[in-house]
Structure 1
Amino acid sequence: MSVQEYLDKHMLSRRIEDAVNAAVRAKAADPVLYISNHMRRATPSAITKVKARKILDSRGIPTVEVDLYTNKGMYRATAASVNLDKIYDFSEAREGELGKYVGNTVSKFVKHINERIAEALIGLDPTVQSQIDRVLVDLVKEDPKSELGPNATVAVSIAACKAGAAEKEVPLSKHIADLSGQSRVQLPVPAINVINGGKRIENNIFAQDIMILPVGANTFEEAMEMVVESYSHLKAIVLEKYGQSGCSLGERDGLAPNVSDLKEALDLVKEAIDEAGFHGRIKMAVAVGVANLRDGNNHKTTFKSTVVEDLVRIYTQLCSDYSIVSIEDPFDENDWESFKQFTQLGVCQVVGDQLLISEPKHIDRAISESACNALLLKMNHLGTVTEAIELANKAKMAQWGLVVSHTRGETEDTFVADLAAGVGAGLIKAGGPCRGELLSNQLLRIEDELGEQAAYAGENWRPCP
């Protein structure tokens, strides 16, 4: 093929002429660079390669990282892992090969991605997220015995989403907002973990997390300032009352003082907020996770009562005494009646995590029965970005609160922050101010990038009850 034939086949003469004319009109200071960039944008993007590998998460457990290549660049994503007890038949697929990472190796998923998924995605347009995710979902359905679950698909889907944003030359959060039909990006209120309890902590707090919500801030930056100052006061109070051991960090990045009960822990947080000068501007939230505290037919608590009716009374009183505005998983995941009873009291936002596990049929049931009024959305409960967006929109259509959450087993990937801002979540569970800084830092970057267009959820963090 001659040079002229090659130029004619690919219409290069016309494209080069268009690029030169554009450079002239723009009075480009560097015509060669301008023409190069113009030609690059004029070329449709397509996926050319998908490469997966095994990396370690924040707990030292293997998980999957994916590099997705297009003809214009490489985009990396990781899948935060999760451990579930096969609730509602959902489980994170693991290989169970004892002797290799204590049964937690992910080599099988890496192999699936590098062979089956990569082949299926070559040539697809990364801006069409729904098409990519449909291919991933279909692959899972074709061979359910392969255990090709979220561990294999979620990182690929996230990488494709990043590639799509790059092709559109927009921030990732804006790309997600476009995909979800949101008119703007909204910075969520950070739900910051300050004290940990539950079965993994050797104290007497039956709840897993106590969080602070800076709803009275005007910007996300101000919100983080309020959080850091309150946390510093809390750490000083704990140090004085419980010694250095009380300042050790729990698995969820909060402090773990050896308090006598939940009320004592809440008193510490309340004192810290008041000392920092944010009384009324910072609210509290509690993640109970009663499913993890089950003992036969009763709920294990450090209170004297052991029946559901008493738990309802206790929660109602706590919301009144401590300005608690949100409680996550206050009852067992199978106890729909108790969820309904408490939600209908309207004393706070009731968040479904283990009750729903981001499963559409359970969300539909909860909406129809008013079993809760907020969704906890975790990417690693799902397989694709499209599914996450669909569930977020379902919750918002139901006038529910939307809480996007990190999870144990995080990596340095900050996609969850962009997801929360893009879908317009009211809250983001971002971990603690120590060790949980990755998501908060990404949200600070998003706010800075948006400038005057930045909108912080603040007092409007949930639909009016």
Structure 2
Amino acid sequence: MKIQKVLAAEVLDSRGTPTVGATVVLSDGSIGVANAPSGASTGKFEAHEKRDGDKRRYHGKGVQKAVQSVTETIAPVLENIRKVTVGEIDRIMIELDNTKNKEKLGANAMLAVSLAAAKALAMHYRQPLFRFLGGANAQKMPVPMMNILNGGAHAANNIDIQEFMIMPVGAKSFSEAVRMGSEIYHTLGGILKSRSLAVSVGDEGGFAPDLASDEAAIEVILEAIAAAGYTTDEVQIALDAASSEWASGDGYRLPKRGTQYSAAQLISYWEKLCEKYPIRSIEDPLGEEDFPAWTTLTERLGKKVMLVGDDLFVTNPVRIREGIERRAANALLVKPNQIGTLTETLTAIALARDNGMKTILSHRSGETEDTSIADIAVAVNAGYIKSGAPCRSDRTAKYNRLLRIAQENDLDGNYGG
């Protein structure tokens, strides 16, 4: 078996912004197709996303140079290799790039090829992607963390916390968890509409109303949970503060409301919020360079709440090791485009898991119909997945893929809740 063809194209993500799509064709006719996602609030330490910068096309956000990386640099080498495995393909691309942060080829170009190659190989071996990657051990369906109210960089409203999510931890199966999330989402929409509040949605499908405070957002979600017939034992709250966006000098400043915090004050704020509300998880509660404050917060809240490193870790084993050594955070958010290849993504997951950290597979705010993260979540038995609201096809594609995996493989009841 050989790689017959590696193709790339400039395609659109869910925000109408270009991204890289790749197709890998094997000599037996097996085909894999994948697209790279793109983030709005990105971490400082993420792998390089290659953009053209030509203001005459797509306001400078075109990816023709990244596509060119595939067609002119990656494809000629991969089409001549003898050993066709995901690990070998990723190793070759990393060597071709030969930069610290994927600056030559672009993480968007490399990830699209990496995922497309994995899908082609899965087809060759007549296996679904999750089984090809995870083998017989891939048995667990993740808890969906559904972003049903948007703020921060994901919405044009007055809410500073970027994501307000619900986690149906009390569901008996994955399909029941999706149903519970959908019911609560629509109940929330009805409540907002009854109060003449906006029911338009943000980048990830959550509603984006103006509210009196960020706490008011939590309270209206709790109201929706109850009105839909559920308790906070069954459905709990998760937040993504994306507080690297708040970093200002030696402290933090909320960009929409203007509130100022020192690191100590922000830690106290999260402690009070967790005492008051059924919050199970907080992502990026502190800035990406504020390791000392992360250590303090983990000491204080880590036994009760998932403290999730996104911008802090950027799916990078070097940063994850530093977090482990500093006892900062107890959970890893996994975004494959932050590191650039599937192999490096799986390495990051294994490192986190071996050191007692929970793992959450995650979408980006700029998504496509690609469902790779759904298969990866099952392949590694991740406890959780973030794929946005049960709304917008770029988000529901992932939930629908998981529903099919659960049904077709008799895994629905193997639920991590």
Partner residue, 2:134: 177
Q: Do the aligned partners of 2:48 and 2:103 also contact (CA within 8 Å) in 1? A: no
Q: Which amino acid aligns with 1:266?
A: I
Indicate the residue corresponding to 2:23 in structure 1: 67
What is the CA deviation profile of residues 9-62 of structure 1, one whole-angstrom value per residue up to 9, with x for unaligned ones?
Answer: xxxxxxxxxxxxxxxxxxxxxxxxxxxxxxxxxxxx321111111111111111
Matches within 5 A, 1:350-429: 350-429=307-386
Query: 2:267 matched to which residue of 1?
Result: 312
What is the alpha-carbon distance in structure 1 between the residues aligned to residue 234 and residue 126 of structure 2?
37
- 1:197 aligned partner, one-letter code: G
Give the TM-score of the pair, scaled to structure 2.
0.93
Alignment counterpart, residue 264 of structure 1, candidates 202, 209, 216: 216
Contact 1:126 1:163 survives alignment (8 Å): no
Secondary structure of the corresponding residue to residue 246 of structure 1: coil
The answer to whether the 8 A contact 1:332-1:355 is kept is yes
What amino acid maps onto 2:282 in structure 1?
I
Indicate which of 174, 184, 208 corresponds to 1:230. Answer: 184
**Cα offsets for 1:233-273 (capped at 9, x unmatched):** 111111112x1x52111122111121111111101111111
**Alignment CA distance shift 1:271-1:332 (3 Å):** same
Aligned match of 1:450: 409
Q: Of Structure 1 and Structure 2, which has the larger fraction of its residues in helix?
A: 1
Match of 1:100 in 2: 57
1:297-324 deviation per Cα after TM superposition (whole angstroms, max 9, x unaligned): 3322459662222222221122222210
Alignment of 1:131 with 2:83, yes or no, is no
Would you say the 8 A contact 2:5–2:25 is kept in 1? yes
SS at match of 2:237: strand
**Distance change in 2, residues 1:443/1:127 (3 Å):** farther
How high is the TM-score relative to the length of structure 1?
0.83
2:66 and 2:88 map into 1 onto residues whose CA distance is 21
- Give the counterpart of 2:244 among 277, 291, 297: 291
Structure 1 range deviating more: 57-66 or 138-147 = 138-147
- The equivalent of 1:10 in structure 2 is none
Does the C-alpha gap of structure 1 residues 223 and 85 become closer, same or farther in structure 2, counting only changes over 3 Å? closer
- How far apart in 2 are the matches of 1:425 and 1:126? 29
1:454/1:418 Cα in 2 relative to 1: closer, same or farther (>3 Å)? Answer: farther
Indicate if the aligned counterparts of 1:85 and 1:91 stay in contact, CA closer than 8 A: no
Which residues of structure 2 form unaligned runs of 5+? none
Distance 1:90 1:142, change over 3 A: closer
Counterparts of 1:252 and 1:452 in 2: how far apart (Å)?
A: 27
SS of equivalent residue, structure 1 residue 98: coil
**Would the alpha carbon gap of residues 128 and 136 (structure 1) be closer, same or farther in structure 2, given more than 3 Å must change?**
same
Q: Aligned-pair distance for 1:429?
A: 0.6
Find the residue that maps to 1:111 and give its secondary structure.
helix
- Work out the number of aligned pairs and report it: 409
1:140-186 superposed Cα distances (whole Å, 9 cap, x missing partner): 117989720211111111011011111221111111113xxx72232
Alignment of 1:273 with 2:232, yes or no, is: no
**The one of 97, 110, 116 aligned to 1:153:** 110
Give CA-to-partner distance per residue, 1:420-448, whole Å, 9 cap, x none. 11111111111111112111111001101
Identity %: 36
Greater RCO between the two (CA within 8 Å, min separation 6)? 2
